[in-house]
C-alpha cells in the first residue's frame, strides 16, 4: 500500500462489482489486500470495470492429487480392473503402469495447477503418494512446482500412504521424512480396509502429526458400521489431543451408508471434536448428507479428488462444477441450498484448511474470482467462464485462460 498526501492510493480499483449481498460497489486493492469497499472510491494506479459481474472469493479445492493427474498429456482411456469388486491395490498397480509412461510429475502437476487457476481456484490441498516404490520423488516434484506457483495459488501438501501404512514396511519412516521435507499434513487411508489394523494406522498417523505439529487428512472409504466406528475413533483421538479444526476425513462414505440416526451420533462426535468432512459427491457411491452434517455442526468441505488420472477419467479442476455436482447429487434446489454448495468450496473450506484473511471484505486477501452471474445460485448452476481471477490482487487468469508467469510445458 502506498499513500499520497495521506490518502491511500490503490494499486487497482475494481469498479461495477456485484457482491453476493446484491450491492454494486467498487473494491480498492492495495498491497494484495482489499483495502476498501464502497460506492465511490478514489482512482487507483490501475482501474478495471467488472461490468456488474459477481465477485466471489477465490475457490478452494480441498482435495486433489497433483502427482496423479494426466492433464496436459494424451488422452488416457480408463483401464478397468479384473477383480470382481473394486480393489485399491489393483488400481494402484494399474496406476503405476500408466504413470510409468506419463510425463514427469512436475509437468503434469503444473498443467493441473494452471487449469485450476484458470477455473478460479486460488487455494488447493494436494495429497501426494508416499510409499516405498515412489519414495519421496513425487513429494520433491510437487514441492518444486508449489514453489514455482507460490504467488498464484496457495498449496497445502498431505503425505499420503497410498499403498498402506502399517501393512507396507518402510512407509512410516518415509512419511516421517516427508513431513520433515515440507509436507504440511499427515494422511491416512482406510485403516481397516487397507491396513486391517485400525488402531495401528491411527496410532501412526496421530504420532506423526504430534511429532511434526501438523494436521491430519485421512481418506476413508471403509463402509457402513466399520467406517462409522473408525470415524468415532478419529473424533475421540482428535478431541483428546485438542486437535479441533486440524483433522479432516475425506469421503467418509460410511456416513451415507447407515441409518440416519446412526450417522447423527457420529456427526455429533465429529462436531464436538472439530473434525471436518470432505466430499466430492461421487456418482457411483453413497456419500454423507451435507445438510445433516452441517446441521450437527460439522464443517463440510469439497474437493475434486482425482482429475483425469488412472482412477477417474472426469474433471477439469473446476470447483464451481464440483459445487454443482454436490448440489445435484444432494437434491439441492433452492437458492439457499445452492449457496451451501458454494460454501463447501469457499468459506467452509477456508475454515477447515486454516486459510487466514479469506473472503471479500476489507482486510481480506484479494483472492477473487469474477463471473457473469446475477447471484451465487446462478453461478453454481451455470458455472460461467471465469472472466477474471486475482491472487493477492494480481490478475492470474482472464476470460477462462491462465495468465500467470509459470508455463506448464
Ligand atoms: Zn483422494
Distance 69 CA to ligand 1 centre (A): 11
**pLDDT score for 406:** 66
Residue 383, CA distances (Å) to 178, 306, 373, 379 in order:
37, 20, 9, 5
- Residues contacting residue 340 through CB under 8 Å, at least 6 positions apart: 290, 291, 294, 327, 332
- Residues contacting residue 355 through CB under 8 Å, at least 6 positions apart: 60, 123, 154, 349
Distance 329 CA to ligand 1 centre (A): 19
The pLDDT tens digits of the residues spanning 253-282 come to 999 999 999 999 999 999 999 999 999 999
**pLDDT score for 1:** 44
Distance 305 CA to ligand 1 centre (A): 5
Q: Exposure of 119 by Cβ count < 10 A (0-12 exposed, 13-18 middle, 19+ buried)?
A: buried
Q: Quick one: DSSP state of residue 284?
A: T
The mean pLDDT of 336-342, rounded to a whole number, is 98
**pLDDT score for 88:** 86
How are beta strands 24-30 and 33-38 bridged, if at all? antiparallel
The mean pLDDT of 98-116, rounded to a whole number, is 97
Distance 8 CA to ligand 1 centre (A): 44
C-beta contacts of 7-11 below 8 A and 24+ residues apart: 7/42, 8/35, 8/36, 9/42, 9/44, 9/45, 10/35, 10/36, 10/41, 10/42, 10/43, 10/44, 10/45, 11/44, 11/45, 11/46, 11/393
**pLDDT score for 8:** 83
Residue 409 has pLDDT above 90, yes or no: no
Residue 137 has pLDDT above 50, yes or no: yes
Residues 322, 326, 329, 335, CA torsion sign: negative
Q: What is the CA radius of gyration of the chain?
A: 21
The pLDDT tens digits of the residues spanning 222-232 come to 999 999 999 99
Distance 303 CA to ligand 1 centre (A): 9
Distance 367 CA to ligand 1 centre (A): 25
CB 344 within 8 A of CB 276: no
Query: pTM for this one?
Result: 0.97
* Ligand 1 ion: residues within 5 Å (CB): 305
Distance 347 CA to ligand 1 centre (A): 21
Residue 4 has pLDDT above 60, yes or no: no
Higher pLDDT, 60 or 89: 60
Amino acid at each position: 500500500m502506498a499513500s499520497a498526501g495521506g490518502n491511500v492510493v490503490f494499486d487497482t480499483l475494481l469498479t461495477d462489482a456485484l457482491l453476493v449481498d446484491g450491492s454494486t460497489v467498487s473494491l480498492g486493492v492495495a498491497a494484495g489486500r482489499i483495502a476498501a469497499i464502497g460506492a465511490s472510491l478514489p482512482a487507483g494506479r490501475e482501474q478495471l470495470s467488472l461490468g456488474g459481474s459477481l465477485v466471489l472469493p477465490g475457490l478452494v479445492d480441498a482435495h486433489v492429487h497433483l502427482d496423479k493427474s494426466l492433464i496436459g498429456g494424451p488422452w488416457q482411456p480408463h483401464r478397468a480392473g479384473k477383480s470382481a469388486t473394486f480393489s485399491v491395490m489393483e488400481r494402484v498397480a494399474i496406476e503405476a503402469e500408466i504413470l510409468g509412461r506419463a510425463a514427469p510429475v512436475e509437468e503434469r502437476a503444473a498443467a493441473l495447477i494452471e487449469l485450476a487457476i484458470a477455473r478460479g481456484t486460488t487455494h488447493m490441498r494436494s495429497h501426494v503418494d508416499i510409499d516405498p516404490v515412489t519414495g519421496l520423488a513425487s513429494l520433491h516434484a510437487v514441492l518444486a512446482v508449489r514453489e514455482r506457483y507460490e504467488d498464484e495459488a496457495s498449496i497445502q501438501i498431505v503425505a499420503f500412504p497410498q499403498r498402506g501404512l502399517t501393512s507396507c514396511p518402510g512407509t512410516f519412516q518415509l512419511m516421517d521424512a516427508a513431513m520433515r521435507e515440507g509436507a504440511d499434513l499427515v494422511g491416512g487411508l482406510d485403516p481397516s480396509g487397507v491396513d486391517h489394523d485400525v488402531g495401528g494406522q491411527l496410532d501412526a498417523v496421530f504420532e506423526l502429526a504430534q511429532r511434526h505439529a501438523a494436521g491430519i487428512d485421512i481418506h476413508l472409504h471403509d463402509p457402513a458400521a466399520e467406517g462409522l466406528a473408525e470415524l468415532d475413533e478419529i473424533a475421540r483421538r482428535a478431541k483428546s489431543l485438542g486437535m479441533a479444526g486440524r483433522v479432516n476425513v475425506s469421503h467418509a462414505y460410511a456416513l451415507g451408508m447407515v441409518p440416519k440416526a446412526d450417522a447423527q451420533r457420529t456427526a455429533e462426535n465429529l462436531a464436538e471434536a472439530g473434525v471436518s468432512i470432505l466430499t466430492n459427491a461421487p456418482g457411483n457411491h453413497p456419500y454423507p448428507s451435507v445438510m445433516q452434517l452441517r446441521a450437527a455442526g460439522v464443517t463440510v468441505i469439497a474437493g475434486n479428488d482425482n482429475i483425469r488420472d488412472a482412477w477417474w477419467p472426469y474433471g477439469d479442476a473446476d470447483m464451481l462444477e464440483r459445487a454443482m455436482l454436490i448440489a445435484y447429487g444432494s437434491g439441492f434446489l433452492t437458492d439457499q441450498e445452492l449457496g451451501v454448495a458454494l460454501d463447501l468450496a469457499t468459506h467452509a473450506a477456508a475454515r477447515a484448511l486454516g486459510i487466514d484473511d479469506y473472503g471479500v471484505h476489507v482486510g481480506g486477501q484479494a483472492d477473487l474470482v469474477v463471473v457473469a452471474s446475477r447471484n451465487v445460485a446462478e453461478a453454481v448452476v451455470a458455472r460461467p467462464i471465469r472472466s477474471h481471477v486475482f491472487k493477492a490482487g494480481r490478475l492470474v487468469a482472464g476470460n477462462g485462460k491462465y495468465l500467470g508467469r509459470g508455463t506448464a510445458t
